[in-house]
A and B are shown apart, each in its own frame.
Chain A
Amino acid sequence: MWRGLMLTPLLFLGVFFFYPLAAILSVSLLADGVPDLSGFLRVAQSAYYRDTLWFTTWQAALSTLLTLGLALPAAYVFARYTFPGRSLLLSLATLAFVLPTVVIAAGFSALVGPRGLVNDFLMRILNLSAPPVQLEHTLTLILIAHVFYNFAVVLRIVTAYWANQSARFEEAARILGCHGWRLWYEIRWPLVRPAVLASAILVYIFTFTSFGVVLILGGPRFATVEVEIYRQTVQLFNLPVAAALSLVQIVFMFALMLVYARFQSQAAGQLQPAAQMVRRPRTLREHGLVAGAALIMGTLLLLPLAALAVRSLLVNGQLSLAYYAGLGENQRGSVLFVAPFTAVANSLQFAFATTLVSLLLGLLSAYLLRYAPARMARWLDPLFMLPLAASPVTLGFGLIVAFNEPPLALRSTWVMIVIAHTLVAIPFVVRSVLPALRRVPSSVRDSAATLGASPLAIVRWIDLPIVGRSLVVAATFAFTVSAGEFGASLFVVRPDSPTLPIAIYRLLGQPGAINYGQALALSVILMVVCAICFALIERLRTGTAEEF
């Protein structure tokens, strides 16, 4: 019975992950059962798709460089100095990373969009009739949002690695006569390089698969491969091309993940036992460095979120809760077909269902990985991470392609949403629970067994108390992932029962002050939910808080 239970996660992955992948493969390579490469040929021959791939590649490279440029100096400051507000800034950066893309898009729109605070303010004091700051639908805004999003990736990985490097290396070098810029060249850079490269590859992966930011902030002029898959499917209904693009995307992603895994193991392997070198800034220069880093981070990370909250409370220049109050009404001709608040209720239901299902499956997976023979666990482990490597858009696309017809015509049922969210959430659950489970020494379980505890009693009295916290963390992760999930949801959500991010996306795309205001109000609600979940995770998470 135990064995059968342990295999359910594999079954789930097989049916809802690998089968859809196969479906994508067959759509892209077969037409009515006959090999047909026309989708591929169209992708390969068309300058448009080549441009899309090229744009995806270089915007990711540029975003990565910009993120490194801003976050590395901050990482240096964080690795060396402690100062009031340090952990708050670190949390802020991480919060920015975990917030749903729609919230971030709404935040930047509320700050610098045509209806945003900056333009509002400039139009009023300069008496202009059109918004002077034209950042919406520009590459600049996409890049800024990418830096905002990924700042924490570089900051956390590099800071953790750097702060854990023994301060003795540098002192030894100084005693041997090394000083000034040579310390950077000879000691600091070589020591921190693995962490910088690992974080850079991770940022590249995230920006390569950027979907929501490009779709919402970029407008029709810009498309990454992800966005193009969505447009081909939903707007043009060109499935062979969408499937071919998905394949290209999957191949790229797996290649990047492999590179990352290599660098990450390097970055982890060199970690020294923590010899903290963090101290308070002393000289004027050091105070300046700290203040500079805090100022840049505060501006970049706090402004869009603050603007979102403030703008959602401004109705015609007056402070008002009107946008929030209107969320309960179903307007005639609304894009949502239902009152906006229904989206909140929908999202909560889906999030609870996802939490339950992914917790169950994730827990079983973790047990399987922990107690399977080592040889089996070695190839099972990456298997459970695969849904992370395939982008949400690919997941959503695969699901609608695979479950379009009977006997499994799940396409337009709510079950599909829970399945999609669960796929995205399972890796987070496994990654939260597995390390805790590995910390339960086998000797403790063995001695419980010799004292007469049945396998179930061992789970109840030994495992649960030890991994309990991590279970709460895992549940919160699953909940947050589901509440903010956007890419896969766009494919599987029914028009009349939108989730919160989908509702925000639809409202943002509509003209009219009320639609815009309500989009912001819903974004604030989503932001608050995610922030609460995030605070809970940060509080409960033990051990390696710097891992990704």
Chain B
Amino acid sequence: MLHVSGLRCSYQGQIVLEGIDLEVTQGEILCLLGPSGCGKTTLLRAIAGLERLDAGDVKFSGQSLKSTPVHARGFGLMFQEYALFPHMTVAQNVAFGLRMQHIADIDQRVRDVLDLVGLTGFERRSVTLLSGGERQRVALARSLAPSPRLLMLDEPLGALDANLRDRLVTDLRSIIKKTGLTAIYVTHDHSEAFAVADRIAIMNEGHLEQVGSPEEVFRRPSTEFAAMFMGLTNIVPVEKVSNGCAVTPLGEFAAAAPAHSLLLHPLGLSLVTSPIAQSSNGCTAVSGVVRESVFRGETHRLTIEHASGVALTLSIPLSDAVPTIGQSVDILINVDAVVPLLRGGS
């Protein structure tokens, strides 16, 4: 469907995007996830035709869009700040794209779309008098109305407060899925990305770090940046790799591929208070001292320091006994929890 290849963009002499290769298939929601300033908005704008490309191409259904101007692409873009036309009512905003693209039966379509986003009866309101959540819905309705070939949403929930965001994120996914649109969704919040995406592309400093399903990128991040960005911080430097074994300050771990560091995924870490046999059925045990214990509601988060100075964090259920600060404990590391990481950035 959408095919981005070798894309490069620069702004005032500075490269903002470099070597972007990306594919979005029919009916899929792809999420661009990355910190602010990583170039995800620029990538959206480049696909929409609002930014000029230094190199590379954007193809839709196999056709290059290089010579297709913005207004003829048939895409939809929902801006972060919504950009609702302040001189028009809700209905006029939603109808705008229908008028421009000569789509028949405008009134009916406007009503349908407003129904879909839950704004029935808002037609004649002024957009300047709406709440944040209502504006967001109008912006969504305006982008949806002409049934774009590709819908792009730039931090659509960014301007809303956290409570509203949690509620609307599932609404958004179901609305997009209901209309069967292909969508690119930009966010900096990984939990939002997990909730909304079929596939996630993690971006950093103008390039793609990793593309995969939400579970894939969370379970097996491929770079240090990707891991850190999703809040996975148990990263241990690899000193050297020999004979399929990665040597780290915590000891040796099996590593099939060359790695810059290892992620010890908290999903595969557990606490043992009594020493057990090491390396039993693929598990490695590491001992350390509890340095910090933070109550987090449903879990306790422990920070445990190894003799080498490397600190690991893991969460234990509230029901478990909590070790005291300064107590020596053993951490059992499941073999699946060891994820080799690349340095990233290239």
A residues lining the B interface (CB < 8 Å): 166, 168-169, 171-179, 182, 186-187, 190-191, 270, 275
| Pair B83/A176 contact, Cβ less than 8 Å | no
| Pair B83/A169 contact, Cβ less than 8 Å | yes
A residues near B69, Cβ cutoff 8 Å? 174, 179
| Pair B83/A191 contact, Cβ less than 8 Å | no
| Pair B81/A168 contact, Cβ less than 8 Å | yes
Most chain A Cβ neighbours within 10 Å, of B73, B83, B97: B83
Selected from A177, A179, A182, A187, the residue in CB contact (under 8 A) with B85 is A187
Least Cβ–Cβ distance between A29 and chain B, in angstroms? 47
| Pair A175/B81 contact, Cβ less than 8 Å | no
B142 sits at the interface (CB 8 A): yes
B75 sits at the interface (CB 8 A): yes
| Pair A176/B86 contact, Cβ less than 8 Å | no
B residues near A179, Cβ cutoff 8 Å? 69-72
Q: Do A171 and B83 form a contact, CB below 8 Å, given A176-B142, A177-B100, A178-B96?
A: yes
Complex CA–CA separation, A270 to B96 (angstroms): 20
Complex CA–CA separation, A168 to B85 (angstroms): 9
Complex CA–CA separation, A186 to B93 (angstroms): 11
Chain A, Cβ-Cβ closest to B102? A177
Q: Do A168 and B79 form a contact, CB below 8 Å, given A179-B69, A190-B87, A191-B87?
A: yes
Selected from A175, A182, A187, A190, the residue in CB contact (under 8 A) with B70 is A175
B residues near A191, Cβ cutoff 8 Å? 85-87
| Pair A176/B100 contact, Cβ less than 8 Å | yes
Selected from A172, A178, A190, the residue in CB contact (under 8 A) with B83 is A172
B residues near A174, Cβ cutoff 8 Å? 50, 69-71
- Classify chain B's interface size: 20 to 34
| Pair A173/B77 contact, Cβ less than 8 Å | no
Q: Do A176 and B79 form a contact, CB below 8 Å, given A187-B85, A190-B87?
A: no
Selected from B81, B86, B100, B142, the residue in CB contact (under 8 A) with A178 is B100
Least Cβ–Cβ distance between B31 and chain A, in angstroms? 20
B101 sits at the interface (CB 8 A): yes
A residues near B71, Cβ cutoff 8 Å? 174-179
Complex CA–CA separation, A455 to B71 (angstroms): 62
B residues near A171, Cβ cutoff 8 Å? 48, 50, 70, 77, 79, 83
Chain B, Cβ-Cβ closest to A177? B100
Most chain B Cβ neighbours within 10 Å, of A171, A175, A179: A175
A residues near B87, Cβ cutoff 8 Å? 190-191
Given A178-B100, A179-B70, 8 additional A-B pairs, CB 8 A: A169-B83, A171-B83, A172-B142, A174-B71, A175-B50, A175-B73, A178-B71, A191-B86
Complex CA–CA separation, A186 to B97 (angstroms): 12
B288 sits at the interface (CB 8 A): no
Jot down 20 A-B pairs with beta carbons below 8 A, ordered by A: A166-B81, A168-B83, A171-B83, A172-B77, A172-B79, A172-B85, A173-B96, A174-B50, A174-B69, A176-B71, A176-B100, A177-B72, A177-B97, A177-B101, A178-B100, A179-B69, A179-B70, A187-B85, A191-B87, A270-B86
Selected from A169, A173, A177, A187, the residue in CB contact (under 8 A) with B146 is A177
Q: Do A166 and B101 form a contact, CB below 8 Å, given A174-B70, A175-B48, A175-B76?
A: no
B residues near A172, Cβ cutoff 8 Å? 77, 79, 83, 85, 142
Complex CA–CA separation, A173 to B72 (angstroms): 12
Complex CA–CA separation, A191 to B83 (angstroms): 12
Complex CA–CA separation, A178 to B102 (angstroms): 11
Selected from A176, A186, A275, the residue in CB contact (under 8 A) with B101 is A176
Q: Could you give, for residues 28-51 of chain B, a 1 whenever the CB lies within 8 Å of some chain A CB and a 0 otherwise?
A: 000000000000000000001010
The 3 A-B residue pairs with the shortest CB-CB distance, nearest first, are A177-B100, A176-B97, A168-B83
Complex CA–CA separation, A182 to B74 (angstroms): 17
Chain A, Cβ-Cβ closest to B154? A168
Chain A, Cβ-Cβ closest to B80? A168
B residues near A175, Cβ cutoff 8 Å? 48, 50, 70-71, 73, 75-77
B residues near A168, Cβ cutoff 8 Å? 79, 81, 83
| Pair A176/B50 contact, Cβ less than 8 Å | no
Q: Could you give, for residues 48-85 of chain B, a 1 whenever the CB lies within 8 Å of some chain A CB and a 0 otherwise?
A: 10100000000000000000011111111101010101
A residues near B76, Cβ cutoff 8 Å? 175-176
Complex CA–CA separation, A270 to B81 (angstroms): 15
B residues near A177, Cβ cutoff 8 Å? 71-72, 74, 97, 100-101, 146
B residues near A178, Cβ cutoff 8 Å? 71, 96, 100
Least Cβ–Cβ distance between A499 and chain B, in angstroms? 48
Complex CA–CA separation, A275 to B82 (angstroms): 13
A residues near B72, Cβ cutoff 8 Å? 177, 179
| Pair A169/B85 contact, Cβ less than 8 Å | yes
Q: Do A173 and B85 form a contact, CB below 8 Å, given A178-B100, A179-B69, A182-B100?
A: yes
Chain A, Cβ-Cβ closest to B75? A175
Complex CA–CA separation, A186 to B86 (angstroms): 12
Q: Do A166 and B83 form a contact, CB below 8 Å, given A175-B48, A175-B77, A176-B146?
A: yes
Least Cβ–Cβ distance between B177 and chain A, in angstroms? 22
A residues near B77, Cβ cutoff 8 Å? 171-172, 175
Least Cβ–Cβ distance between A455 and chain B, in angstroms? 41
Complex CA–CA separation, A169 to B96 (angstroms): 12
Least Cβ–Cβ distance between B146 and chain A, in angstroms? 7
A residues near B70, Cβ cutoff 8 Å? 171, 174-175, 179
Chain B, Cβ-Cβ closest to A191? B87
Least Cβ–Cβ distance between A171 and chain B, in angstroms? 6
Complex CA–CA separation, A98 to B221 (angstroms): 64
Least Cβ–Cβ distance between A508 and chain B, in angstroms? 48
Least Cβ–Cβ distance between B320 and chain A, in angstroms? 49
Least Cβ–Cβ distance between B163 and chain A, in angstroms? 24
B residues near A186, Cβ cutoff 8 Å? 96
A residues near B75, Cβ cutoff 8 Å? 175
Least Cβ–Cβ distance between A473 and chain B, in angstroms? 33
A residues near B146, Cβ cutoff 8 Å? 176-177
A residues near B96, Cβ cutoff 8 Å? 173, 176, 178, 186
Chain A, Cβ-Cβ closest to B76? A175
Complex CA–CA separation, A47 to B77 (angstroms): 63
Least Cβ–Cβ distance between A23 and chain B, in angstroms? 47
Complex CA–CA separation, A128 to B97 (angstroms): 65
A residues near B142, Cβ cutoff 8 Å? 172, 176
B residues near A270, Cβ cutoff 8 Å? 86
Least Cβ–Cβ distance between B130 and chain A, in angstroms? 15
Complex CA–CA separation, A275 to B80 (angstroms): 13
Least Cβ–Cβ distance between A292 and chain B, in angstroms? 24
Q: Could you give, for residues 78-113 of chain B, a 1 whenever the CB lies within 8 Å of some chain A CB and a 0 otherwise?
A: 010101011100000000110011000000000000
Complex CA–CA separation, A169 to B84 (angstroms): 7
